[in-house]
Amino acid sequence: MSNFLIRRLILAVPTLAGVLVVVFLLLYVAPGDPVQEMVGERADAETIARLRRELRLDDPLHIQFAHYAGGVVRGDLGTSYITGRPILGDIAERFPKTLLLAASAMVLAAGVGITIGVVSARFPGGWLDRVSLGAAYLGISFPVYWVGLLLILLFAVTLRWLPPSGYGSAQYLVLPALALGSRSIAFLARVTRSSMLEVLNSDFVRTARAKGLVERAVVVRHALRNALIPVITVLGLDFGYYLTGSILTETIFSWPGLGRYVVNAISRRDLPAIQGSVLFLSVVFVAVNLITDIAYAKADPRVAYE
């Protein structure tokens, strides 16, 4: 396991280095002037030139990159052009809210999706199996923003059961977590069903039934544990997606997380905020994938020795 973990950490280094280079270059070739966004259209040329010198935007591109990369290595992601605050402080303030939303969506998706998949595999071809598969296809087809708007229309506007947006008590978390986790519920149900059908036809399951074990013990203790290996992979990838791709959900529900912070930074061309946030989210995604690999290797020891 130690060698397995070391290999994964070594592979993560060039990945993050590539992300650092790509993010820096893409933002600097994008149209627009961040200084113009800061001072407005009526600022004089002298003020604009002074700000560009202070922000080191008039340096050659390779010098700007060296300065930025050196700060990243020291743990300094820069300072926001708009708020004047350190980027790392803004991330530390907003990322826990994104983490709360992602964890809630994952718990909901895992609980509902795995349960539907197990029940569907236990009674293949029945009405519940057909209904769940149909719902799974619909869930995968619908985009997150459309699901979010429907949830707001139904539960906030029509029924008035839940608040439509904002951040506060647990009620504010229900709709964004459901919208963010809706696709995973459908996908996990399909993956769990497929894996369970394969495991339920295995020899060790037939042996367990022949020993006289009750069906619930056979399904949960024997079949489900062996069927969870592909499910773990899906959970890990989806959780990384929740943490790094919740921009639409946070925007629709006015959730004050890191995704909405990135949207505001893009709209105002706040280059350090965009660069720092994307780099941080890339580190998070790599870390989640590493944890997923470790969990996968724990569930199937053969992986650690490949």
User: Which top CATH class is 98-256?
Assistant: mainly alpha
pLDDT at residue 205 in the model = 78
pLDDT of residue 9: 79
Question: pLDDT digit string (tens) for 121-178?
Answer: 888 877 777 887 777 777 777 778 888 888 999 998 988 889 988 888 888 999 999 8
Please answer whether residues 36 and 268 qualify as being in contact, where contact means their C-beta atoms are separated by less than 8 angstroms: no
Any idea how long the chain is? 306
Residue indicated by tokens 């803004």: 90
Residue 40 pLDDT: 66
287: helix, strand or coil: helix
Q: Which two tokens stand for residue 96?
A: 């826990």
Which residues of the chain register pLDDT less than 70? 1, 4, 27, 30-34, 36-43, 245, 297, 299-306
DSSP codes joined into one string, 130-164: HHHHHHHHHHHHS-HHHHHHHHIIIIIIIS--S-S
- For residues 192 and 200, is the Cβ–Cβ distance under 8 A? no
Four-residue CA torsion sign, 238, 239, 241, 242: positive
Give the torsion through C-alpha atoms of 179, 185, 190, 193, to 10 deg.
Answer: -170
Structure tokens at 283: 């580190």
pLDDT of res. 66: 86
Give pLDDT tens digits for 64-95. Answer: 888 888 888 888 888 887 778 899 999 999 99
* Chain centroid offset of residue 100 CA: 11
Angle value at C-alpha 130, between 116 and 118, nearest 5 degrees: 25
Residue 220 confidence (pLDDT): 75
pLDDT at 304: 52
pLDDT value, residue 100: 92
pLDDT for 303 equals 56
